[in-house]
C-alpha cells in the first residue's frame, strides 16, 4: 500500500513558531465524547434487538477504525486501514481543531450507518460541537471531507465482509444477519442426543410462556477480521469430553462455586454479565478504557489510538472466539450438570427468591434471570474470557503498565434476585490482567462456562491482542 504526500516545507524557525492548540483531556476531549455516544448507541441497540455481542463488536470496531483513519491524516507517521488516496495534511494543518472536526465527521457518519435509529442523538452532538451535520463534502483537503471519506471507505469496504449486515448473502432474502450457513444443532431443546455438543434451552418470555432461542450468528467465524489474518489463526485445542477426569472435575467446580456464592461473587457475576443498558463485552471494555482516559487525562490523540486498538481486539476476538465455538459446538454447564448429576441431590440456587436449596441435579440452572438463562450459542471458548483477556492485554500493552485501579460499588442480586438483595459491596480491579481474570471466573461462578472455556478463552484473547498490537504499531509507524 502506498501513500502520496503533499507537505509544505518549513524552516527550523517556522517549525518552532507554529502555535500548538491547547489539548482538552479526559472527558473533555472530543474522542472521549464520541466514544460515550457510541456506548449510548450500543445500549439502545441492545434494548431494541436484545443482546447480540458479535454484531455490536463489529459496529464499534468499524466506528473507531473510521475515527482512526481520519485522525491519521493529521499525524506525522500513521497509516490508514481503509482510507486510500488521501494525502497526509501539511504540518500547519495538523491542529487539534482539524483533528476534532475530522474525527467528528467520521464518527457521525459511521454511527448513523450502524446505529441508524439514534441519528437524532448523533446529529445533536454535531450541532453542539458547532459542526454542520448536513455537510457531506468529500474534499480530501478539508477535515470535514476527510472525516466523511474515512467513514465512506470503512462502510464500503465492509459491506460484503461476511457479516450479512444487509442480508446480501445468497439465500438471505434481504434479511439482515440471516444465517447463510444453515446451522442446525445436533441436539434439540427437549432431547440431548450428544451431551458433548451444544443444546438449546428454554427461556421465559416474561409473559408466562417459554421460548428456545436459536444460535446467535452461527456464521460469525466467516466475518473478515479487522487486523487478524484469519478467524482460526489462534484456534485452541479441543475441550475436555465426557468420560475425562478433567471434565468431571470442572463440572463439579461449577456446582461448588454456585453453591458457595458470596455477595461479592454475585455482584461480580452481575457486573460482568451486564444489565440494563447493556453494552455487551466490546462496549464494556470501551467503558473501562474510558476509565483509563479519565484516570490519566488522555488527550484526543491518546484516546483515538487506545479506542481503536481495544475495539479492534474486541471485534477480532469475537470472530476468533466464534471460530472455536462453532468448530467444537461444545456443551454448556446447563446441560453438562444435568448429564453428570441426574437424580443426585445437590445444593444449588433455586431461582429468584428461593436462595440455595437442595435439588435433583437435572433441576440445576445458572445464576441468571429466567428471561436470559444462558447465552444461546456453544460454550467453548468463553466470549467474556476471550474479549476480557484480549482487551485487558491491549490496555496493558498500550499503557506499558498493568495498573488499573478501578472500583465499583454494586448491590448483589439486583439484576438476578431483586427480592433477595445483599448489602452493597465494592469490587476492586487493581490491574488489567486481574480484571480480565475476574471477568473470566465470573462466568464459571455464574454457571455459563466450565474452567476450560475460561482459561482457553483468556489465552485466545491475549493472542489476538498481542498480534493486533503488533499491527497497530505498524500502522502508527512505530518500532515493534
* The pLDDT of residue 479 is above 90: no
Query: Would you give the distance in Å from CA 73 to the centre of its chain?
Result: 27
Other Cβ atoms closer than 10 A to 198: 26
Does residue 192 lie in a domain region? no
Could you tell me the CA-to-CA distances from 218 to 164, 265, 280, 322, 432 in Å, in that order? 12, 31, 18, 8, 30
Do both 432 and 348 map to the same domain?
yes
Alpha-carbon span 62 to 165, nearest angstrom: 13
User: Could you say which of 157, 184, 218 is where a domain stops?
Assistant: 157
CB 453 within 8 A of CB 324: no
Identify the pLDDT of residue 51: 86
* The pLDDT of residue 423 is above 50: yes
* The pLDDT of residue 3 is above 70: no
DSSP secondary structure string for all residues of 242-286: TT-HHHHHHHHHHHHHHHT--HHHHHHHHHHH--TT--HHHHHHH
Do both 143 and 227 map to the same domain?
no
3-state SS class at 29: coil
Give the DSSP H/E element, type plus range, for residue 337.
helix 333-341
pLDDT band at residue 11, thresholds of 50, 70 and 90?
A: very low
User: Could you say which of 102, 132, 157 is where a domain stops?
Assistant: 157
Alpha-carbon span 363 to 365, nearest angstrom: 7
| Number of structural domains in the chain | 2
Do both 65 and 132 map to the same domain?
yes
Other Cβ atoms closer than 10 A to 116: 11
Do both 210 and 84 map to the same domain?
no
Most distant CA atoms of the chain, gap in Å: 84
Do both 244 and 349 map to the same domain?
yes
Q: For 411-456, where are the E strands, in sequence order?
A: 425-431
Do both 133 and 247 map to the same domain?
no
Alpha-carbon span 53 to 151, nearest angstrom: 22
Alpha-carbon span 42 to 113, nearest angstrom: 13
- Tell the residue number behind the cell numbers 500502522, with chain if given: 475
Identify the pLDDT of residue 275: 57
- Tell the residue number behind the cell numbers 446505529, with chain if given: 115
DSSP structure class, residue 332:
P
pLDDT band at residue 77, thresholds of 50, 70 and 90?
A: very high
Does residue 112 lie in a domain region? yes
Q: For residues 11 and 144, which has the higher predicted lDDT (pLDDT)?
A: 144
Identify the pLDDT of residue 8: 35
Identify the pLDDT of residue 21: 58
Identify the pLDDT of residue 441: 98
Least confident residue range of 190-204, 267-281, 294-308, 358-372: 267-281
Identify the pLDDT of residue 278: 85
Cell of 286: 470501551
Backbone angles phi, psi at 406, to 5 degrees: -80, 145
Identify the pLDDT of residue 277: 65
Do both 430 and 321 map to the same domain?
yes
On the CB side of 143, how many CA atoms lie within 13 Å of its CA?
21
Residue 297 region, left (φ>0) first, then alpha (ψ -120 to 50), else beta?
A: left
Domain at 37, CATH number: 1.20.144.10
Report the chain's mean pLDDT, rounded to a whole number: 94
User: Could you say which of 157, 190, 224 is where a domain stops?
Assistant: 157
* The pLDDT of residue 99 is above 60: yes
Do both 210 and 153 map to the same domain?
no
Do both 237 and 108 map to the same domain?
no
177-188 average pLDDT score: 97
* The pLDDT of residue 16 is above 90: no
Does residue 189 lie in a domain region? no
Tell if the pTM clears 0.85, that is, is over it: yes
Domain at 228, CATH number: 1.10.606.20
Digit-coded pLDDT (tens) for 284-326: 999 999 999 999 999 999 999 999 999 999 999 999 999 999 9
Does residue 232 lie in a domain region? yes
Other Cβ atoms closer than 10 A to 31: 29
Digit-coded pLDDT (tens) for 205-239: 889 999 999 999 999 999 999 999 999 999 999 99
7-30 average pLDDT score: 60
- The domain containing residue 94 runs over which residues? 19-157
Question: 197: which strand partners?
Answer: 330
CA-closest candidate to residue 266, choices 146, 134, 130, 427: 427
* The pLDDT of residue 68 is above 80: yes
Alpha-carbon span 464 to 310, nearest angstrom: 11
* The pLDDT of residue 19 is above 60: no
Do both 224 and 128 map to the same domain?
no
Does residue 308 lie in a domain region? yes
Does residue 343 lie in a domain region? yes
Least confident residue range of 5-14, 71-80, 248-257, 409-418: 5-14
Digit-coded pLDDT (tens) for 123-175: 999 999 999 999 999 999 999 999 999 999 999 999 999 999 999 999 899 99
Does residue 270 lie in a domain region? yes
Do both 270 and 137 map to the same domain?
no
Cell of 306: 487506545
Digit-coded pLDDT (tens) for 348-375: 999 999 999 999 999 999 999 998 889 9
What is the three-state SS of the chain?
A: CCCCECCCCCCHHHHHHCCCCCCCCHHHCHHHHHHHHHHHHHHHHHHHHCCCHHHHHHHHHHHHHHHHHHHHCCCCCCCCCCCCCCCECCHHHCCHHHHHHHHHHHHHHHHHHHCHHHHHHHHHHHHHCCCCCCCCCCCCCCHHHHHHHHHHHHHHHCCCCCCCCCCCCCCCCCCCCCCCCCCCCCCCCCCCCCCCECCCCCEECCCCCEECCCCCCCCHHHCCCCCCCCCCCCCCCCCCCCCCHHHHHHHHHHHHHHHCCCHHHHHHHHHHHCCCCCCHHHHHHHHHHHHHHHHHCCCHHHHHHHHHHHHHHHHHHHHHHHHHHHHHCECCHHHHHHHHHCCCEEEEECCCCCCEEEEEHHHCCCCCCHHHCCCCCCCCCCHHHHHHHHHHHHHHHHHCCCEEEEEEEECCCCCCCCCCCCCCEEEEEEEHHHHHHHHHHHHHHCCCCCHHHHHHHHHHHHHHHHHHHHHHHHHHCCCC
Does residue 215 lie in a domain region? yes
Amino acid at each position: 500500500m502506498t501513500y502520496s504526500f503533499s507537505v509544505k516545507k518549513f524552516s527550523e524557525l517556522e517549525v518552532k513558531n507554529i502555535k500548538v492548540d491547547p489539548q482538552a483531556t479526559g472527558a473533555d476531549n472530543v474522542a472521549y465524547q464520541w466514544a460515550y455516544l457510541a456506548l449510548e448507541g450500543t445500549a439502545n441497540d441492545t434494548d431494541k434487538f436484545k443482546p447480540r455481542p458479535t454484531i455490536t463488536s463489529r459496529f464499534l470496531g468499524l466506528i473507531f477504525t473510521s475515527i482512526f483513519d481520519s485522525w491519521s491524516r493529521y499525524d506525522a507517521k500513521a497509516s490508514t486501514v481503509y482510507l486510500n488516496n488521501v494525502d497526509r495534511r501539511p504540518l500547519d494543518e495538523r491542529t487539534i481543531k482539524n483533528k476534532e472536526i475530522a474525527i467528528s465527521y467520521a464518527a457521525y457518519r459511521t454511527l448513523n450507518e450502524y446505529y441508524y435509529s439514534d441519528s437524532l442523538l448523533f446529529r445533536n452532538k454535531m450541532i453542539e460541537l458547532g459542526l454542520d451535520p448536513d455537510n457531506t463534502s468529500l474534499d480530501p483537503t478539508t477535515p470535514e471531507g476527510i472525516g466523511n471519506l474515512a467513514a465512506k471507505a470503512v462502510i464500503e469496504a465492509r459491506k460484503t465482509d461476511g457479516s450479512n449486515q444487509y442480508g446480501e448473502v445468497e439465500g438471505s432474502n434481504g434479511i439482515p444477519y440471516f444465517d447463510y450457513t444453515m446451522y442446525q444443532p445436533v441436539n434439540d431443546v427437549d432431547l440431548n442426543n450428544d451431551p458433548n455438543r451444544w443444546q438449546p434451552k428454554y427461556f421465559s418470555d416474561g409473559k408466562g410462556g417459554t421460548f428456545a432461542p436459536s444460535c446467535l450468528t452461527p456464521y460469525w467465524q466467516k466475518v473478515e477480521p479487522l487486523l487478524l489474518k484469519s478467524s482460526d489463526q489462534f484456534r485452541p485445542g479441543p475441550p475436555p469430553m465426557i468420560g475425562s477426569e478433567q471434565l468431571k472435575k470442572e463440572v463439579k467446580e461449577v456446582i461448588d462455586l454456585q453453591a458457595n456464592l458470596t455477595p461479592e461473587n454475585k455482584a461480580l457475576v452481575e457486573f460482568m454479565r451486564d444489565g440494563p443498558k447493556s453494552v455487551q463485552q466490546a462496549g464494556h471494555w470501551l467503558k473501562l478504557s474510558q476509565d483509563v482516559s479519565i484516570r490519566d487525562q488522555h488527550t484526543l490523540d491518546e484516546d483515538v489510538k487506545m479506542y481503536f486498538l481495544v475495539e479492534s481486539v474486541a471485534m477480532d476476538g469475537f470472530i476468533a472466539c466464534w471460530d472455536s465455538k462453532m468448530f467444537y459446538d461444545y456443551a454448556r454447564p446447563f446441560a453438562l450438570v444435568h448429564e453428570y448429576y441426574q437424580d443426585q441431590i445437590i445444593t444449588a440456587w433455586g431461582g429468584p427468591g428461593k436462595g440455595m436449596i437442595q435439588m435433583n441435579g437435572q433441576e440445576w440452572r445458572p445464576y441468571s434471570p429466567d428471561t436470559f438463562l444462558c447465552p444461546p450459542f456453544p460454550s467453548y471458548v468463553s466470549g467474556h474470557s476471550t474479549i476480557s483477556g484480549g482487551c485487558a492485554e491491549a490496555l496493558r500493552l498500550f499503557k506499558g503498565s498493568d495498573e488499573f485501579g478501578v472500583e465499583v460499588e454494586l448491590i448483589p442480586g439486583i439484576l438476578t434476585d431483586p427480592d433477595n438483595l445483599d448489602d452493597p459491596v465494592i469490587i476492586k480491579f487493581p490491574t488489567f490482567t486481574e480484571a480480565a481474570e475476574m471477568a473470566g471466573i465470573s462466568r464459571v461462578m455464574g454457571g455459563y462456562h466450565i474452567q476450560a472455556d475460561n482459561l482457553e478463552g483468556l489465552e485466545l484473547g491475549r493472542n489476538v491482542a498481542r498480534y493486533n498490537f503488533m499491527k497497530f504499531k505498524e500502522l502508527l509507524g512505530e518500532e515493534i
